[in-house]
Chains A and B, each alone.
Chain A
Amino acid sequence: MKVTFPHMGHMWICLKAMLQYLGVEVVVPPSCSKKTLTLGTKHAPEFACMPLKLNLGNFMEAYELGADTIIMAGGCGPCRFGYYAYSENEILKDLKYNFNLIVLEPPEKHFSEFLIKIKQITGNRSWYQVIKGIRFGFLKAKAVDEIERLSFKIRPRELVAGSTDMAFQQALAEIDRAKTPQELIINIEQAKNIMSSIEIDQIKPVLKVGIVGEIYTLLEPFSNQNIERLLGKLGVEVDRSIYLSEWINDHLFMGLIKKMSNREETCRAARPFLNHFVGGHGEETIGSTVLYSEKGYDGVIQLLPFTCMPEIVAQSILPKVSEKLGIAVMTLIVDEQSGEAGLLTRLEAFVDLIAQKKKQKEALA
């Protein structure tokens, strides 16, 4: 059995770690590229959103590398993501790709439901082993998120253009390399050292922008045209409302690990504006915007793939949030389009806008 999975940002590092730790053979698909998107758009229905198209491309590219089993998350609720795994599998079957499909539905009641699914893949390994494997994957997710947060802080302050991007790739490779939890501790140190060796301007004033929205477009840099990097280069320190480790804790571990920012807290913040589950991460989008405004961020950017219903609901509420709390909000809808000029114009103008607002506020203070 050679297992593959769709890409979603740096998720592959943690999934690969978990599966390999449990002795499962893994085929990591080539990272999302123009080729992935071309394959996906060719075979997916036109009205599906971009995540489905990229998933499909990932699977097709992995098949060429010998993968025969797909693990994919499922879901329920108003977002149609829940049936993506099945419809992608049907499309692949029509194209004569022979895959086994294992869908990890989010546990309804208890974490044990998730463990049972994992056992399907890992066969006769002991429960103890399986739990250790999951823990190892989770540790990697946390490590990756930590390094990524560092890169967000460093990039707007870097002295040599592009040095953060290079160091970040090296640091990720360092984390990916660790084979055991013991090794990982050393490699995390190593990765942090790489990041701290970047030359930065300590006193440079930077703007702070929070990025909120649909999880896939937030986590997968190919789908959002590297928005975090583009903003960093414009001198903006970014933060993301969802990190992979937090999502795993919320949705797969059912909030088992405390002391992490979690969905309940975020949704509570959304209450005055949105008091109902709208599917996907619509509630979190509103809640995070409120929280960013409380933390003194200069602006918020909402990201969503074209036709994403939960985010469209959130989008129509955001102007009210923006008006009430006085925080600038911009919505960007991503799709197959890859022209960077349009995106850059909007980002530049948004950065100009929040810089002016900040100046005005400081002048008044």
Chain B
Amino acid sequence: MKGYLGVDVGSVSTNIVFIDEQGDVKETIYLRTCGQPIVTVQKGLKELAQRLPENTVVRGVGTTGSGRHLAGVVIGADTIKNEITTHAVAASYLVPGVQTILEIGGQDSKIIILRNNVVSDFAMNTVCAAGTGSFLDQQASRLNIAIEDFGPISLKAKAPVRIAGRCAVFAESDMIHKQQMGCALPDILAGLCEALVRNYLNNVGKGKEILEPVVFQGGVAANVGMKKAFEDAIGVSVQIPPYFNVMGAVGAAVLAKDAVKKSVPTRFKGFAVADINYHASSFECSGCANCCEVVEINENEETIARWGDRCGKWSNALAKKEKIS
């Protein structure tokens, strides 16, 4: 089998998908990043290699997510793309004709508006509405319920309570207050979903024209309570695509397929990447008062990438003339 890999290294999860020549998704892997992107990517590749038939040929690799550059140098990517572009690519690939994408991940929230299959506008959280996924996660664990049960429980709400959605700190103290008053758990959870949706629409959506079909994706789309809150707020039905939680990776794989179309050989270093010893180290540059923390990625003993310097003194020293993104 021949195919393409897409790797999405996000703040909360790391996702890897494998699509075949026809573009059908064959394998998906969803792992928690746990603050260790390199190790997680290696683990994911190892798992994927075991799942795929032995004669599999990887013809191209794409990376995305906030860890895209890191993942890109570690596994050898043919294309490194930001998560907005990959999410749009994946959504219009899996849901043809989509016009609005609501995306809430672990750290960032975004809205993407497509018209005639082309991204015509997008917005990402600026100073607020960040970390919605992480916040839901945290509240679930504070209330001692599994995050998977969050949505189903909230659907049982009879009268959702009003919770301040302006910021997470306010929301949490408001929730605690409602708890102490004796409100029922489903009502509180449903109220929280409504508050988060309100915040999203005000801070990210900002009056953008939401036309059908509307797709809701990202890790938070697993929460049926959030889906219902969205439908109630915008008054149209919201679709959750297959692979909604690995959309970035799907998009990256589709882009990788395009990138190697002109029969350029892939840069993929092979599944053996899982066994290479990668080592990240950092030092503080003393060149100026910025005291930048420069991070070095070493493959065995060789430095393959550096970043973190504001002035480019260190990163430019290793920069190759040809760029891949």
A residues at B contact (CB < 8 Å):
30-31, 33-36, 159-162, 165, 226, 306, 319, 328, 330-333, 335, 341-342, 344-346, 348-349, 352-353, 356-357, 360
Contacts and interface: CB of A to CB of B under 8 A. Distances in A.
Interface string B288-299: 111110000000
Contact of B121 (A36, A328, A348): A328
B83 interface: yes
A161 B291 contact: no
A331 B121 CA distance: 12
Contact of A162 (B83, B124, B319): B319
Nearest to B320: A161
B122 A353 contact: yes
Interface string B70-101: 00000000000111110000000000000000
Contacts, number: 75
B207 A357 contact: no
| Residues of B contacting A: mostly | loop
A319 B82 contact: no
Given A35-B289, A226-B310, A335-B127, A349 B316 contact: no
A30 B289 contact: yes
Contacts of A346: 84, 124
A127 B195 CA distance: 64
12 contacts: A34-B290, A162-B312, A319-B208, A328-B121, A332-B126, A333-B127, A335-B127, A349-B82, A353-B119, A356-B118, A357-B118, A360-B118
Contacts of B325: 348
A349 B84 contact: yes
Interface string B255-295: 00000000000000000000000000000000011111000
B311 interface: yes
A332 B127 CA distance: 9
B118 A33 contact: no
A333 B66 contact: no
B66 A341 contact: yes
Contacts of A349: 82-85, 122, 124
B206 A333 contact: no
A335 B130 CA distance: 15
B203 to A, nearest CB: 11
Contact of B291 (A34, A331, A356): A34
Contacts of A342: 66, 108
B51 interface: no
A160 B316 CA distance: 9
B321 A160 contact: yes
Given A161-B312, A342-B66, A349-B124, 10 more contacts: A33-B288, A34-B289, A319-B207, A331-B126, A333-B126, A333-B127, A348-B81, A348-B325, A349-B82, A357-B120
B323 to A, nearest CB: 8
A36 B139 CA distance: 37
Given A161-B319, A335-B127, A33 B83 contact: no
B289 A306 contact: no
B124 A345 contact: yes
Nearest to B311: A165
Given A165-B311, A345-B66, A348-B325, A306 B127 contact: yes
Nearest to A160: B321
Contact of B82 (A306, A330, A352): A352
A141 B127 CA distance: 34
A335 to B, nearest CB: 7
Nearest to B126: A333
A330 to B, nearest CB: 8
Contacts of B292: 34
Top 3 closest pairs, chain A to chain B, by CB: A349-B84, A33-B289, A162-B316
A33 B285 CA distance: 13
Contacts of A341: 66
Contacts of B291: 33-35
Contacts of A353: 119-122
Nearest to B308: A340
A345 B248 CA distance: 13
A346 B124 CA distance: 7
B126 A36 contact: no
A289 B66 CA distance: 30
Contacts of A226: 310
A31 B311 CA distance: 13
Contact of B312 (A30, A165, A331): A165
A234 to B, nearest CB: 9
B288 A345 contact: no
Contacts of A333: 126-127
B88 to A, nearest CB: 9
A3 to B, nearest CB: 21
A33 B319 contact: no
